[in-house]
A and B are shown apart, each in its own frame.
Chain A
């Protein structure tokens, strides 16, 4: 039963990463952690930033880090014909979307890891069926596969090629929470409602870091 074993691998991967990550989980009174910090000298830590990228969304618009300037955003990786975890993830992402719908401080980005199938019309149809009429706030994006895979590693979504997996790719359901400085401030298993509760609790804490009157500034 290959499907089961993939699911197990995927869950295993995410469980393992969550165990690792729990080390940098913060307490409510402290600011959210910044992921992946490296101490280059005692007391001097550098934090990686999401690198530059150029993607295309379901409305055929270019998406770059500038799209999310001044905003907090949530990222995930999926594909339209994904038989196991994606519908679960998108159900959970919808919870976050519904809560912050029309809030200009919050953006969403879902990257397809199957760009050869998920053309722009496919992405647009998928988004609309999910109840996302335009890319104004939630971008369903595509790019050459290598670009997406590279980003997936950066957003900690554990994408891997696997000959026996559906559409040849294995991925985890990780959601990453990113701040306006392009730092990852939270990673959650998007297939687990409790983890998404945590994301819903962390998001306002990150928004509280934004400068005053961000709504006007962000638009």
Chain B
């Protein structure tokens, strides 16, 4: 089975144009090279699980979490400052410590949240960086980046 592919100049130009667009696009949207997904795997999955499933009654789930909708506006500060004290997610009471994430930029928090809002069957509108920066002011947590 051999398929021969001959690149005609027009096709090449089209490919080049597509490549250029692909390079420029990430600048327009907030998700640079799946940054949200990569950050999730590196910084959140240990506790919340590779698929956002949580860990028994110790770590709350993010997949299908009603907390995400109910507290949407507080999520940027939750990630920035961490969270402790009893909270209820899908009717289950959790009470452990989530650490702060002081080193993440506003845009990284945006990408993380947008990933979480749309992974594992979650469906929620995306945040813009500007919106997240504004929400972060509530906890004095915007780094303007």
Which residues of A pack against B, CB within 8 Å?
1, 3, 80-81, 83-85, 87-88, 90-91, 94, 125-126, 128-131, 166
Contact = CB atoms under 8 A, between A and B. Distances in A.
Nearest to B100: A83
B70 interface: no
Contacts of B96: 80-81, 129
Nearest to A191: B46
Interface of B: 46-47, 49, 55-59, 95-97, 99, 103
Nearest to A88: B46
Given A81-B96, A87-B47, A1 B103 contact: yes
Given A87-B46, A87-B47, A88-B46, A81 B55 contact: no
A126 B47 CA distance: 14
Contacts of A90: 55, 58
A67 to B, nearest CB: 24
A128 B95 CA distance: 12
A90 B57 CA distance: 13
Nearest to B95: A125
A1 B105 CA distance: 12
11 contacts: A1-B103, A80-B96, A81-B97, A83-B47, A85-B46, A87-B46, A88-B46, A91-B49, A91-B55, A130-B58, A131-B56
